[in-house]
Amino acid sequence: MTIETVTEPGFYNGVFLKPGAAYETDMTETAAPKLDRLKKDELIALAKDRGIEIDPSKTNAEIIAAIEAAV
């Protein structure tokens, strides 16, 4: 395990982190974010990271459905 520092906002080990935050990396396991616990801006960022276009006027439930459908 190593400690990494975030340079770009995004999801790291299943948690949305801002630049400057630190997180542990483990090459053997990938954590998936718990979508129902994320804020709308975090859901939109996750969708963008996964190449999913999201209309910001959508509800959290609609964004989660779009993310899950793309898996």
For 38-62, the pLDDT digits (tens) are 999 999 999 999 999 999 999 999 9
Rounded to an integer, the average pLDDT of 8-30 is 79
Average pLDDT, stretch 23-28?
A: 69
pLDDT above 60: residue 28: no
CATH number, residue 7: 1.10.720
Is residue 21 predicted with pLDDT exceeding 80?
yes
pLDDT at residue 12 in the model: 83
Q: What is the pTM of this model?
A: 0.57
Q: What share of the chain is helix, strand, coil (3-state, %, to 5)?
A: 30, 20, 50
**Total number of domains constituting the chain:** 1
| Boundaries of domain holding 52 | 2-69
